[in-house]
């Protein structure tokens, strides 16, 4: 019955240690030059291992620094390019915004507000749809499926993750939208008394609901594969102990697997959320954009995301228009950072219970 | 040497941050390519100095010549490039349909030789062009005219592509676009279409979700023809929340076909298979057609320009009562310089002159009409364009 565990990526290792130690507290500092062997041994030619060690250390360092450099470069680019949107001539700024919004916004806050709302609404909905399903798939793979099936299923999930978003967008626009229009109509007719399902449903259904559905399918694989690795890591001893005490399969999972996996699941969903927040192509192809703070997800033209808005407005924008669009990109950048930060706070605390 | 490593670097959340950052930077990197035109911008072959004396640079025109701009002209440009290349096989020409705004930006920073634009230059851009061009300002000439059709999808009542056109007044269209008429069997539509079995279906308005010169041309027509019934200032974006938006003409037409009862607008050449509206002009109703647009062009006037200006900006009379004229049209311009900076060999000017001469020739216009469904410019307009093009010279 013993399963070989899926190889763990180093990133996840840091995330879960069953002892409940905050990974941030584990600080590894090895000073190679202070190795006692060097002090006692007679000075000889340095062993080839030492050189390799140095080279590897430099490689690892530069890779780490590279991320910071990339981040800094992007931040600086965004701020520089967005600067005219805040410091330019007020008349030019408001006319650029009116041109971008079809006359519906004349200051930056009222322009970016609905876009931000739409971005968070769509990404949040898709996470809401994808998370339970992903967790279910991951549990099925690790705890229920027979060995052969779970291997096959794992590779199918990884394959799904490799499909580019433009394909999802095409599939959504050409296949899903015409097919699901009738269903959303039915929902609006019979569940319309629930505010978010209020009609009239869009026909064709190029609405927030359809986009959220497609994005949910898109982020499903990434959440599933991370969750699968985490469930596979759950301590076997505790599970066996629970079973020995007469717990059912479900109770075992509830007592010995889910609590252990909590912080990892949050990280997994953040990965998915990040992908949904920044998704451009699929949204652009499926959603009929609008410009409001509306929660009616079945109606046409209620919301638009920041990323899709940049893509649709950029080609025809003049220099001030581009500055405005980059400024909305900066807002998205900041929001993504905040989401990350909150997730890290939660996961930092979430391990020890 | 003693350092403790930042543990944050090992956390998936951070990796995610980096991933998002990379994605964003890629997105913007690509976007940035939009205003830095293709690197192939006219590296004039020093050896191939071509004469600019003739109206045509002749087959000895060589090098790489780039243009950029309106996507509305894309298929016409593909046809033109193919045809032009046949007689100038040393010249490699590219057109990047990045959008009017991006094209004008590329022209102004000197990275392309000509820009296609659905909009004339504004005052600021005109001023800026003085530093780009070696002499005077950049100038616009009309090269591409196409009718914009109001299209609908009503197959169940046999109104699609059947030779029958629903009739509408400009005020009716304005009311539909503002969500005041919401059903196809509305009394205001029935009154204009006696004897047509209009279905009891909701009207789904479909419009462009991206900035578009087509949208702006349409609004100019509505503003002029529907008067107070259309309260919005013409712009490139849709001004209200009525109906649905879709990206690009292709996306719009696709959305039209996906549900019954949709109503939108697109280049007439792209609306095959859908029904199109006959618009009220004077006392009669005129469907979108090449002849209807030609009639409009016969009457065309030009905006007054200061002495010596090469700009040819047409004024379309949207309120025309000319029988048989179809007043909803998109006029797209090409923008070029009279003389170019950094053009020691004269090859940029030679190319611009020969290229625009070809576009304004009868052969060029027929080529676009056959391949892109545009309406050939009338001889009078072509003559006006040629007057400006002839003035292009080496700096």
> How near does any CA of chain A get to the CA of B22, in Å?
8
A285/B247 Cβ within 8 A: yes
d(CA B10, CA B4): 13
Residue B263 in 3-state DSSP? strand
Quick one: chain A helix, strand, coil %, rounded to 5?
75, 0, 25
* pLDDT computed for residue A318 by the predictor: 81
CATH number of the domain where residue B76 is located: 3.40.190.10
* pLDDT computed for residue B16 by the predictor: 54
> How near does any CA of chain A get to the CA of B214, in Å?
12
pLDDT of residue B79 exceeding 90: yes
* pLDDT computed for residue B1 by the predictor: 43
Decide if B327 is inside a domain: no
CA–chain centroid gap for B322, Å, is 25
Closest alpha carbon within chain B to A15: B11
Q: Pick the more confident residue, A222 or B32.
A: A222
Structurally, chain B folds into a number of domains equal to 2
pLDDT digits (tens, 9 = 90+) for A58-77: 999 999 999 999 999 999 99
* pLDDT computed for residue B40 by the predictor: 36
A279 contacts in B (CB within 8 Å)? none
Output the CA–CA distances (angstroms, integers) from residue A170 to A118, A211, B251, B252, B300, in the order listed.
Answer: 21, 12, 11, 14, 42
A283 contacts in B (CB within 8 Å)? none
* pLDDT computed for residue A191 by the predictor: 95
Q: What is the mean pLDDT of residues B60-71?
A: 90
pLDDT of residue A317 exceeding 70: yes
Cβ-Cβ contacts under 8 Å for B335 (sequence gap 6 or more): B69, B103, B104, B107, B114, B115, B116, B117, B121, B138, B139, B140
* pLDDT computed for residue A334 by the predictor: 93
If asked whether residues B69 and B44 sit together in one domain, one would say yes
d(CA B169, CA B161): 20
B258 contacts in A (CB within 8 Å)? 177-178, 181, 204
> How near does any CA of chain B get to the CA of A279, in Å?
9
Output the CA–CA distances (angstroms, integers) from residue B161 to A140, B14, B151, B200, B302, in the order listed.
Answer: 53, 56, 10, 20, 35
Decide if B259 is inside a domain: yes
Q: What is the mean pLDDT of residues A309-338?
A: 91
- Could you please report the per-residue DSSP string of B143-172? EEEEEEEEEEE-GGGT-SSSS---EE-HHH
Output the CA–CA distances (angstroms, integers) from residue B36 to A302, A310, A321, B104, in the order listed.
Answer: 34, 17, 16, 11
Output the CA–CA distances (angstroms, integers) from residue B206 to B188, B201, B303, in the order listed.
Answer: 20, 15, 33
Q: Is B203 on the interface with A (CB under 8 A)?
A: no
B203 contacts in A (CB within 8 Å)? none
A347 contacts in B (CB within 8 Å)? 13
Expressed in angstroms, the distance from the first to the final Cα of chain B is 62
* pLDDT computed for residue B51 by the predictor: 36
pLDDT digits (tens, 9 = 90+) for A318-331: 889 999 999 999 99
Work out whether strand B204-208 and strand B262-267 pair parallel, antiparallel, or are unpaired: parallel
Q: What is the mean pLDDT of residues A342-349?
A: 77
Compute the CA torsion angle B318, B319, B323, B327 (nearest 10 deg).
20
d(CA A304, CA A290): 6
CB atoms within 10 A of CB A80: 11
- Could you please report the per-residue DSSP string of B76-107? HHHHHHHHHHHH-TTEEEEEE---HHHHHHHH
Q: A59 exposed, middle or buried (CB, 10 Å; 0-12, 13-18, 19+)?
A: exposed
B247/A312 Cβ within 8 A: yes
Instruction: Please name which of A101, A74, A122, A121 lies closest in space to residue A282, comparing C-alpha atoms.
Output: A122
> How near does any CA of chain A get to the CA of B196, in Å?
24
d(CA A69, CA A46): 33
Q: What is the mean pLDDT of residues B310-328?
A: 94
* pLDDT computed for residue B53 by the predictor: 37
> What range does the domain containing B24 cover?
2-145+302-316+336-394
If asked whether residues B311 and B267 sit together in one domain, one would say no
pLDDT of residue A56 exceeding 70: yes
**Interface mutation target, options A28, A316, A351, chain B, most CBs of B under 10 Å:** A316
* pLDDT computed for residue A42 by the predictor: 52
Output the CA–CA distances (angstroms, integers) from residue B226 to B168, B178, B385, in the order listed.
Answer: 11, 13, 31
If asked whether residues B125 and B162 sit together in one domain, one would say no
If asked whether residues B152 and B290 sit together in one domain, one would say yes
Write out A300-324 in H/E/C secondary structure: CCCCCCHHHHHHHHCCCCCHHHHHH
Residue A316 confidence class, pLDDT cut points 50, 70, 90: confident
* pLDDT computed for residue A347 by the predictor: 76
The CA angle B343-B345-B349, to the nearest 5 degrees, is 55
If asked whether residues B126 and B154 sit together in one domain, one would say no
d(CA B229, CA B172): 9
CB pairs under 8 A between A and B: 199
Which of A24-28, A322-326, B72-76 has the lowest average pLDDT? A24-28
d(CA A33, CA B306): 79
Decide if B329 is inside a domain: no
Q: Is A329 on the interface with B (CB under 8 A)?
A: yes
Closest alpha carbon within chain B to A24: B7
Contact B197, A60 (CB under 8 A): no
Decide if B126 is inside a domain: yes
Which of A9-18, A316-325, B12-21, B221-230 has the lowest average pLDDT? A9-18
d(CA A259, CA A130): 20
If asked whether residues B206 and B245 sit together in one domain, one would say yes
* Partners of B168 in the β-ladder: B279
If asked whether residues B255 and B365 sit together in one domain, one would say no
Contact A102, A89 (CB under 8 A): no
Output the CA–CA distances (angstroms, integers) from residue A112 to A274, A295, B52, in the order listed.
Answer: 19, 17, 51
Between residues 283 and 342 of chain B, which touch chain A (CB distance below 8 Å)? none
Average pLDDT for chain B: 86
A67 contacts in B (CB within 8 Å)? 9, 14, 18
Decide if B331 is inside a domain: no
If asked whether residues B344 and B226 sit together in one domain, one would say no
Contact B383, B357 (CB under 8 A): no
Question: Which of the listed residues B294, B326, B359 is the one where a domain comes to its end?
Answer: B294
If asked whether residues B121 and B155 sit together in one domain, one would say no
* pLDDT computed for residue A75 by the predictor: 93
Contact B118, B72 (CB under 8 A): yes
Residue A45 confidence class, pLDDT cut points 50, 70, 90: low
Q: Is B251 on the interface with A (CB under 8 A)?
A: yes
Residue A220's φ and ψ, nearest 5 degrees, are -55, -50
If asked whether residues B157 and B269 sit together in one domain, one would say yes
Output the CA–CA distances (angstroms, integers) from residue A135 to A131, A132, A353, in the order listed.
Answer: 6, 5, 21
**Interface mutation target, options B17, B234, B239, chain A, most CBs of A under 10 Å:** B17
d(CA B149, CA B289): 9
Q: Is B71 on the interface with A (CB under 8 A)?
A: yes
Decide if B325 is inside a domain: no
pLDDT of residue B186 exceeding 50: yes
Q: Pick the more confident residue, B42 or A210.
A: A210
Give counts: helices (H), strands (E), chain A. Answer: 15, 0
Decide if B215 is inside a domain: yes
Residue A202 in 3-state DSSP? coil
CB atoms within 10 A of CB A342: 13
Contact B84, B37 (CB under 8 A): no
* pLDDT computed for residue A3 by the predictor: 42
**Interface mutation target, options B1, B31, B37, chain A, most CBs of A under 10 Å:** B31
* Partners of B167 in the β-ladder: B278
Report chain B's C-alpha Rg in angstroms: 24
pLDDT of residue A16 exceeding 90: no
Closest alpha carbon within chain B to A179: B258
Contact B191, B173 (CB under 8 A): no
Q: What is the mean pLDDT of residues A225-239?
A: 93
pLDDT digits (tens, 9 = 90+) for B197-215: 899 999 999 999 988 999 9
> How near does any CA of chain A get to the CA of B282, in Å?
30
Decide if B326 is inside a domain: no
Cβ-Cβ contacts under 8 Å for B110 (sequence gap 6 or more): B41, B132, B341, B342
Q: Is B98 on the interface with A (CB under 8 A)?
A: yes
A175 contacts in B (CB within 8 Å)? none
If asked whether residues B221 and B273 sit together in one domain, one would say yes
pLDDT of residue A27 exceeding 70: no
CA–chain centroid gap for B303, Å, is 20
Instruction: Please name which of A315, A305, A314, A298 lies closest in space to residue A283, comparing C-alpha atoms.
Output: A305
d(CA A286, CA A170): 8
Question: Which of the listed residues B264, B294, B324 is the one where a domain comes to its end?
Answer: B294
Q: Is B242 on the interface with A (CB under 8 A)?
A: yes
A27/B237 Cβ within 8 A: no
A29/B4 Cβ within 8 A: yes
Q: What is the mean pLDDT of residues B310-339?
A: 94
B246 contacts in A (CB within 8 Å)? 206, 288
Question: Which of the listed residues B263, B294, B325 is the one where a domain comes to its end?
Answer: B294
Q: Which two tokens stand for residue A233?
A: 């890591």
A26 contacts in B (CB within 8 Å)? 7
Longest dimension (CA), chain A: 87
Contact A220, A162 (CB under 8 A): no
Average pLDDT for chain A: 86
Q: What is the mean pLDDT of residues B68-94?
A: 93
pLDDT of residue A342 exceeding 90: no
Residue B227 in 3-state DSSP? helix
- The DSSP H or E segment spanning B190 is helix B187-192
Q: Is A26 on the interface with B (CB under 8 A)?
A: yes
> How near does any CA of chain A get to the CA of B323, in Å?
34
Q: Which two tokens stand for residue B171?
A: 């005020």
pLDDT digits (tens, 9 = 90+) for B262-314: 999 999 989 989 999 999 999 999 999 999 999 999 999 999 999 889 999 99
If asked whether residues B237 and B346 sit together in one domain, one would say no
Share of chain B above pLDDT 70, in %: 85
* pLDDT computed for residue A29 by the predictor: 43
B245/A315 Cβ within 8 A: no
pLDDT of residue A28 exceeding 50: no
Closest in A12, A33, A204 to B258, CB measured: A204
Between residues 216 and 235 of chain B, which touch chain A (CB distance below 8 Å)? 232-233, 235
B31 contacts in A (CB within 8 Å)? 310, 314
């Amino acid at each position: 019955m013993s399963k070989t565990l899926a190889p763990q990526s180093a990133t996840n290792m840091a995330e879960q240690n069953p002892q409940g130690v905050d990974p941030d507290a584990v600080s590894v500092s090895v000073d190679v030059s202070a190795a006692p062997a060097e002090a006692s041994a007679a000075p000889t030619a340095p062993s080839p291992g030492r050189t390799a060690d140095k080279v590897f250390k430099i490689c690892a360092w530069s890779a780490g620094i590279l991320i910071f450099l990339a981040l800094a470069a992007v931040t600086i680019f965004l701020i520089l390019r967005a600067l005219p949107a805040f410091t330019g001539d007020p008349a030019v700024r408001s006319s650029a915004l009116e041109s971008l919004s079809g006359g519906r916004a004349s200051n930056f806050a009222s322009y970016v507000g609905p876009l931000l709302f739409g971005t968070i609404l769509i990404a949040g909905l898709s996470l809401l749809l994808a998370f339970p399903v992903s967790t279910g798939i991951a549990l099925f793979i690790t705890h229920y499926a027979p060995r052969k099936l779970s291997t096959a299923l794992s590779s199918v999930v990884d394959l799904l993750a490799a499909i580019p978003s433009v394909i999802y967008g095409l599939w959504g626009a050409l296949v899903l939208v015409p097919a699901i229009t009738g269903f959303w109509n039915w929902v609006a007719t019979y569940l319309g008394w629930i505010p978010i399902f209020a009609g009239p449903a869009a026909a064709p259904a190029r609405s927030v609901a359809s986009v959220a559905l497609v994005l949910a399918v898109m982020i499903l694989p990434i959440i599933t594969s991370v969750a699968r690795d985490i469930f596979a890591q759950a301590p076997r001893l505790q599970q066996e102990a629970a079973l020995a005490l007469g717990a059912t399969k479900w109770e075992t999972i509830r007592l010995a697997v889910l609590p252990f996996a909590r912080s990892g699941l949050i990280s997994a969903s953040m990965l998915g959320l990040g992908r949904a927040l920044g998704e451009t192509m699929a949204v652009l192809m499926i959603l009929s954009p609008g410009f409001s703070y509306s929660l009616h997800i079945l109606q046409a033209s209620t919301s638009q995301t920041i990323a899709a808005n940049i893509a649709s407005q950029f080609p025809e924008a003049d220099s001030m228009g581009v500055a405005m669009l980059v400024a909305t990109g900066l807002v998205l950048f900041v929001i993504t950072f905040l989401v990350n930060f909150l997730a890290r706070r939660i996961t930092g605390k979430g391990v020890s219970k | 040497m003693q350092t403790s490593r930042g543990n944050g670097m090992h956390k998936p959340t951070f990796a995610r941050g980096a991933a998002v950052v990379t994605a964003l930077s890629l997105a913007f990197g690509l976007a940035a390519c939009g205003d830095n035109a293709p690197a192939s911008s006219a590296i004039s072959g020093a050896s191939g100095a071509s004469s600019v004396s003739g109206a045509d640079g002749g087959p000895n025109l060589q090098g790489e010549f780039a243009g950029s701009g309106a996507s509305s002209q894309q298929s016409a440009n593909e046809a033109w490039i193919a045809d032009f290349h046949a007689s100038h096989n040393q010249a490699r020409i590219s057109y990047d349909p990045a959008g009017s705004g991006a094209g004008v930006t590329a022209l102004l920073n000197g990275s392309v030789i000509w820009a296609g634009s659905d909009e004339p230059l504004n005052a600021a851009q005109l001023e800026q062009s003085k530093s780009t061009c070696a002499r005077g300002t950049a100038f616009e000439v009309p090269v591409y005219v196409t009718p914009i059709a109001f299209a609908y999808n009503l197959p169940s009542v046999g109104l699609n592509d059947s030779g029958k056109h629903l009739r509408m007044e400009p005020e009716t269209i304005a009311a539909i676009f503002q969500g005041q008429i919401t059903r196809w069997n509305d009394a205001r539509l029935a009154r204009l279409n006696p004897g047509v079995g209009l279905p009891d279906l909701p009207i789904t308005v479909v419009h462009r979700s991206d900035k578009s010169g087509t949208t702006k041309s349409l609004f100019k027509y509505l503003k002029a023809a529907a008067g107070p019934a259309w309260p919005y200032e013409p712009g490139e974006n849709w001004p209200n929340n009525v109906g649905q938006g879709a990206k690009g003409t292709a996306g719009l037409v696709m959305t039209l076909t996906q549900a019954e009862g949709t109503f939108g607008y697109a280049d007439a050449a792209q609306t095959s298979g859908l029904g199109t509206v006959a618009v009220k002009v004077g006392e009669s109703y005129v469907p979108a057609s090449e002849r209807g647009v030609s009639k409009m062009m016969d009457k065309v006037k030009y905006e007054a320009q200061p002495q010596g200006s090469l700009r040819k900006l047409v004024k379309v009379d949207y309120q025309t009562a000319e029988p048989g004229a179809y007043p909803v049209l998109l006029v797209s311009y090409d923008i070029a310089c009279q003389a170019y900076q950094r053009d020691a060999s004269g090859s940029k000017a030679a190319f611009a002159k020969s290229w625009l001469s070809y576009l304004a020739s009868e052969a060029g216009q027929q080529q676009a009409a056959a391949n892109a469904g545009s309406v050939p410019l009338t001889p009078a307009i072509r003559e006006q364009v040629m007057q400006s093009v002839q003035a292009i010279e080496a700096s």
